[in-house]
Amino acid sequence: ILNVEQSPQSLHVQEGDSTNFTCSFPSSNFYALHWYRWETAKSPEALFVMTLNGDEKKKGRISATLNTKEGYSYLYIKGSQPEDSATYLCAFAILGFGNEKLTFGTGTRLTIIP
Amino acid sequence: DARVTQTPRHKVTEMGQEVTMRCQPILGHNTVFWYRQTMMQGLELLAYFRNRAPLDDSGMPKDRFSAEMPDATLATLKIQPSEPRDSAVYFCASGLGDRVFSGGQPQHFGDGTRLSIL
């Protein structure tokens, strides 16, 4: 059974502060690591897909890094804004047939305090 | 922007009734996924299709759930008979890919069907 763990489960951050959270996944048979942003009452929205060890991706104030050898990814948000409040999901895909099957973590729920 | 469309958005019905949820993937996407969101498990994959062929439905209770893709623009998820434990939000997602590269492609989610079985 593949286990994807995210920490912390929830986080409150003051507006303007920067923050980061972690996704841990099995390092064997790695194929891809996805990050999704999920606002309340909406659908998950893809942020990043990373496949190479050492990958860094950036979208505005949000960035992510990937370490496939030790099995973790960090998501960073710089200068948090109220619109960043959401649940951030990571998901892991294994190498081989069926690599489109994603195993999701339970998410980090981020609340930005104005 | 192209979107995945799910209907209905909400469904309340009594135990034992048949429930059908529909999904229209983004035009041109060849892979369609059905997920269920529960409080305990988060997002769990029920079944998925590529080029309309079912590839995996191991996450689905076989006795009461069925998933089909009658054509490239429609995927359905049926529950018959429904039970209170089926109450959840069901998401459809679509994406592009082939056998080798699908895991490196993002999935695009619909807004979900919130199902309540009384």
Give the torsion sign (CA, B66, B30, A57, A67).
Answer: positive
Q: Both tokens of residue B81?
A: 């008979």
Q: Is A9 a residue whose pLDDT tops 90?
A: yes
Which residue in B63, B65, B4 sits closest to B32, CA to CA? Answer: B4
Angle at CA A46, nearest 5°, toward A41 and A50? 150
Any idea what DSSP says for residue A13?
E
Q: Tell me the average pLDDT of chain B.
A: 91
Q: Both tokens of residue B79?
A: 């529950």
Task: Considering only the beta carbons, identify the residue of A32, A101, A104 that sits closest to B56.
Answer: A101
Q: Is A18 a residue whose pLDDT tops 70?
A: yes
Residue B108 to residues B2, B14, B38, B91: CA-CA distances in angstroms?
A: 10, 31, 19, 10
pLDDT at residue A59, rounded to an integer = 95
Q: Is A65 a residue whose pLDDT tops 90?
A: yes
d(CA A113, CA A45): 22
The answer to whether the CB of A32 falls within 8 A of the CB of A51 is yes
pLDDT at residue A3, rounded to an integer = 85
Phi, psi of A34 (to 5 degrees): -110, 145
pLDDT category at A28 given cuts 50, 70, 90 is: confident
Q: What would the mean pLDDT of B14-30 be, rounded to a whole number?
A: 96
Q: Is B39 a residue whose pLDDT tops 80?
A: no
d(CA B6, CA B19): 14
Q: Is B98 a residue whose pLDDT tops 70?
A: no
Task: Considering only the beta carbons, identify the residue of A34, A94, A101 that sits closest to B45.
Answer: A101
The answer to whether the CB of A45 falls within 8 A of the CB of A89 is no
Q: Both tokens of residue A53?
A: 């060890």
Angle at CA B51, nearest 5°, toward B50 and B54? 50
A34 CB within 8 Å of a chain B CB:
yes
Q: Which residue out of A1, A2, A43 would a mutagenesis test of the B interface target, given it has the greatest number of B Cβ atoms within 10 Å? A: A43
d(CA A18, CA A16): 7
Instruction: Report CA dihedral (A51, A53, A57, A61) to the nearest 10 degrees.
Output: 130
Residue A106 to residues A4, A17, A33, B109: CA-CA distances in angstroms?
A: 8, 24, 14, 17
pLDDT at residue A31, rounded to an integer = 87
For B51-92, what is each residue's pLDDT tens digit? 999 988 888 988 999 999 999 999 999 999 999 999 999 999
Any idea what DSSP says for residue A83?
G
A8 upstream amide cis, omega within 30 of 0: yes
CB within 8 Å: B110 and A42: no
B39 CB within 8 Å of a chain A CB:
no
CB within 8 Å: B43 and A89: yes
Task: Considering only the beta carbons, identify the residue of A36, A51, A101 that sits closest to B104.
Answer: A51
